[in-house]
Amino acid sequence: MRIAVLADIHGNVLALDAVLEDLRLRGGADLTVNLGDSVSGPLWPRETMERLQALNLPTVRGNHDRRVAADPADETMWASDVYAQERLTEAQRQALFAQPLTLEITPGVIAFH
């Protein structure tokens, strides 16, 4: 089984698209998983979340995903997390927070951030 692993996209939908295209050119994978920290960053958090939701990949929640989804935007939150939080819809933040911390993606293979 060929497993492709995405992680730490941090709101860079252009890089995500480039990686997905490279994966396609290499013949794809039997399974593609996302290890989280998907949207936090000063680029395109909403667009990145939309693309990932459309892909419907098995995804785990990263530490920045939790902050963006659930923490108050105060002086302890990194600016990139605040930026992402302000640009995501409430439904997107709820979906982000609902992601599990771990997934067994195939027997004996555990995915986590």
Say if residue 69's pLDDT is above 90. yes
- Cα of 96 vs its chain's centroid, Å: 8
* Structure confidence by residue, pLDDT tens digits, 15-65: 999 999 999 999 999 999 999 999 998 899 999 999 999 999 999 999 999
On the question of pLDDT at 4 being above 90, the answer is yes
At residue 103, the 3 state secondary structure works out as strand
Burial of 9 from C-beta contacts in 10 A (0-12 / 13-18 / 19+): buried
Domains of the chain: 3-112 (3.60.21.10)
For helices 63-70 and 90-98, what crossing angle results, to 10°? 140
Rounded to whole angstroms, how far apart are CA atoms 78 and 68?
Answer: 10
Is the pLDDT reported for residue 87 higher than 90?
Answer: yes
